[in-house]
Amino acid sequence: MPVEVAKENDFSDDGFKEVPFKIGKDVYTVREADGDASYKYRNKIIGCTELGADGQAKSVKDIADVEPFLISMCLFDATGKAVPAAMIRKFRAPVCKRLYELIKEISELDDGTEDVAGLEKQLESVKEKLEKAKAKEDAPKNEPSNSTAGSE
């Protein structure tokens, strides 16, 4: 009996989306981010947040480095070699902006995490998870003992 799979859960084609992209005389391939690129990208975003002693977001620094980082993992030259971030930094700003937006779009990465509000939301979520984990660890320590020692 065949299993019914919802369309949004059907990845049977399993191919990465690719878009040709021309810069000057050179044609590149913009490829959808794979899982590794996606995780590294998100970690880089979170790594840009500096926390204060109170655990609150104190500042966000070097966030602009996230764009060439993501592009370097998804932009390939005619030989299929990834274009390094150092070269991407030499492209005109509108080219970089378009590449970044295109990669986020085809990779479904545009979730608002790269702005301060998005980072603070993620941080708050992580703090809540941490508190729950700490509470679970502390729970057995706080439970009354069933031992009969000292009850004579």
Let me know if residue 45 belongs to a domain: yes
Let me know if residue 100 belongs to a domain: yes
Let me know if residue 102 belongs to a domain: yes
To the question of pTM greater than 0.75 for the whole model, the response is no
- Residue 63 pLDDT grade (very low, low, confident, very high; cuts 50, 70, 90): confident
User: Which residue range forms the structural domain that includes residue 79?
Assistant: 22-113
- Residue 152 pLDDT grade (very low, low, confident, very high; cuts 50, 70, 90): very low
In SS3 terms, the chain reads as CCCCCCHHHCCCCCCCCEEEEEECCEEEEEECCCHHHHHHHHHHHHHCEEECCCCCEEEECCHHHHHHHHHHHHEECCCCCECCHHHHCCCCHHHHHHHHHHHHHHHCCCCCCCCHHHHHHHHHHHHHHHHHHHHHHHHHHHCCCCCCCCCC
Let me know if residue 49 belongs to a domain: yes
The pLDDT value recorded for residue 112 is 57
Q: What is the CATH number of the domain that holds 79?
A: 3.30.2220
Let me know if residue 130 belongs to a domain: no
The pLDDT value recorded for residue 116 is 66
| Average pLDDT value for the chain | 84
The number of folded domains in the chain is: 1
- Residue 30 pLDDT grade (very low, low, confident, very high; cuts 50, 70, 90): very high
Let me know if residue 38 belongs to a domain: yes
Stretch 45-57: mean pLDDT: 83
Mean pLDDT check: name the lowest of 10-24, 61-75, 114-128.
114-128
Let me know if residue 2 belongs to a domain: no
